Amino acid sequence: MKKKLIIIIAAVVVLAVFLIFTLKQDNKKAVSVQMEKVRLQTIESKVYAAGYVQPVIKVNISANVAGEIKALYVKEGQEVKEGELLAQLDKVRYAADVDQSKSYYRSTLSAKEVAEKEYKRVKKLYDDKNYSESQYDQAKGQYDQAVGAFEQAAARLEQAEDNLRKTTLIAPIDGTVIGLQKEQGEMALGSTFQADVVMTVADLSGMEVEVDVNENDIVRVAVGDSVDIEIDALADKVFKGIVTEISQLASTMGQGTQNAITNFKVTVKMINNPPEIRSGMNATVEILTDKKIDVVGIPIRAVTVRPADKVRKMGPEEMTGKPELLEVAFVIEADTVRAVPLKLGINSEDFFEIVSGVDTSQTIVIGNHQALTFDLQTGTAVKDVNDVKKKK
């Protein structure tokens, strides 16, 4: 009887221990997460920017002399040929100045010829010892003055003729008039030091997009990078382009403030120009800066950070000061996870290239945000949220 009682008590103890262990395991609730097998990916690293369309070749036709616009021979949108007459400024006073300059030129030319003839005569007599040095110096001085006056007259005539030519505005290239800034009858106020734009002529056979790229992205952009271009006015169409120029000079908005933004101008030449495109249209670009094919890649949302001392064993000498943060992914191991440090390569909008850390033989946690950011640590029990949904 006593032996039987001992057996019963032992059985009860074993059952109690089993129940306690089972209850503890039930209380240790597994975290519901989304899981995904690591795969090979094609990853494209891109820089995004916005700007506007403009012709590759655009010339401002300016008045470099002042005068009333007597005639405009073109209208906006008109095609013109190189050398074609575009506009005529009032040239009356410039023509008169040319006439006066020519008269002065002829007068000084005659005076120079007389002075030169006299100088040659005196020089011969001086060389033959028949004239004094003072007589020679006087003749040479008069000749030099005549030469100086003639050169001034020639320069004045050249300037007067140049000013007269500038009253006639000629097309410097084959192109299209894309803007008229003046009307017939208006005054053009051009001068030697400041041009007054009358119209703009552009070659619309070649178009480009000028965009502003942030200083943090510009280091990734290179001449020759391929580009996808979207024009706001031409929805659902993507045009191809290539980076042709990167400015070395930054432009800063809000300089001196905490919200200062530093950008660099990047020029993208369009490979094909749709007929609907217009100068000044708004555009956005995607500059392909790098591309990796069939590399290990994981979703960006699967990468999080943890203190280094929580990820790997560290010696006391490493644990002084502020703990280092490591970029990690959580790898599934049976019913738990392990934080694995990652070495990242390029990234697209959705994926990171994994240089080292995980491979295609592993499954990782890709969500949710709460779990990845706060809940998971090495050893945390997890369950696949998809399995939970199937059971329901």
Whether 1 maps to a domain, the answer reads no
Residue 320 has what pLDDT? 58
Choose one of 292, 319, 340: the last residue of a domain. Answer: 292
Q: Domain holding 321: CATH number?
A: 2.40.420.20
In this predicted structure, the answer to whether residue 193 has a pLDDT above a threshold of 70 is yes
Name the H helices within the chain: 2-27, 92-127, 133-165, 215-218, 308-311, 369-370, 385-391
- Amino acid identity of residue 209, one-letter, is V
Q: Within this chain, do residues 117 and 147 fall inside the same structural domain, yes or no?
A: yes
Q: How far apart are CA 350 and CA 284, in angstroms?
A: 20
Stretch among 17-31, 38-52, 82-96, 237-251 having the lowest mean pLDDT: 17-31
Choose one of 271, 292, 313: the last residue of a domain. Answer: 292
Whether 73 maps to a domain, the answer reads no
The confidence band for 29, taking pLDDT boundaries of 50, 70 and 90, is confident
Give the pair of three-digit tokens for residue 28. 């240790």
Segment 22-29 mean pLDDT:
48
Mapped onto helix, strand or coil, the DSSP state of residue 318 is: helix
- Find the angle CA(188)-CA(192)-CA(197) to the nearest 5 degrees: 35
Residue 318 has what pLDDT? 56
Residue 50 phi, psi (nearest 5): -130, 155
Residue position matching structure tokens 């000749």: 143
pLDDT in tens, 267-309: 999 998 888 899 999 999 999 999 999 999 999 999 999 998 8
Q: Within this chain, do residues 225 and 145 fall inside the same structural domain, yes or no?
A: no
Q: Domain holding 227: CATH number?
A: 2.40.30.170
Q: Within this chain, do residues 313 and 276 fall inside the same structural domain, yes or no?
A: no
In this predicted structure, the answer to whether residue 145 has a pLDDT above a threshold of 60 is yes
**Which of the listed ranges 21-30, 203-212, 379-388 does the model predict with the highest average pLDDT?**
203-212
Q: How far apart are CA 379 and CA 157, in angstroms?
A: 94
Mapped onto helix, strand or coil, the DSSP state of residue 76 is: coil
DSSP code, position 300: G
Q: Within this chain, do residues 95 and 132 fall inside the same structural domain, yes or no?
A: yes
Average pLDDT, the chain: 89
Q: Within this chain, do residues 315 and 380 fall inside the same structural domain, yes or no?
A: yes
Whether 201 maps to a domain, the answer reads no
Length in residues, the chain: 392
Question: Residue 222: which domain range?
Answer: 48-54+207-292
The confidence band for 85, taking pLDDT boundaries of 50, 70 and 90, is very high
Number of compact structural domains in the chain: 3
In this predicted structure, the answer to whether residue 22 has a pLDDT above a threshold of 50 is no
Q: Within this chain, do residues 256 and 317 fall inside the same structural domain, yes or no?
A: no
Whether 189 maps to a domain, the answer reads no
The confidence band for 86, taking pLDDT boundaries of 50, 70 and 90, is very high
Q: How far apart are CA 334 and CA 328, in angstroms?
A: 19
> Which has more pLDDT, 16 or 355?
355
Q: Within this chain, do residues 286 and 346 fall inside the same structural domain, yes or no?
A: no
In this predicted structure, the answer to whether residue 343 has a pLDDT above a threshold of 90 is yes
Cβ burial of 59 (10 Å; 0-12, 13-18, 19+) is: middle
Whether 287 maps to a domain, the answer reads yes
Segment 74-83 mean pLDDT:
95
Whether 288 maps to a domain, the answer reads yes
Q: Within this chain, do residues 328 and 368 fall inside the same structural domain, yes or no?
A: yes
Q: Within this chain, do residues 382 and 305 fall inside the same structural domain, yes or no?
A: yes
Q: Within this chain, do residues 286 and 299 fall inside the same structural domain, yes or no?
A: no
Q: Domain holding 141: CATH number?
A: 1.10.287.470
Q: Within this chain, do residues 267 and 305 fall inside the same structural domain, yes or no?
A: no
Whether 269 maps to a domain, the answer reads yes
In this predicted structure, the answer to whether residue 123 has a pLDDT above a threshold of 60 is yes
Whether 17 maps to a domain, the answer reads no
The confidence band for 227, taking pLDDT boundaries of 50, 70 and 90, is very high
Segment 328-352 mean pLDDT:
96
Stretch among 20-24, 166-170, 244-248 having the lowest mean pLDDT: 20-24
Q: Within this chain, do residues 385 and 305 fall inside the same structural domain, yes or no?
A: yes
Choose one of 242, 276, 292: the last residue of a domain. Answer: 292
Asked if residues 275 and 266 have their Cβ atoms less than 8 Å apart, the reply is no
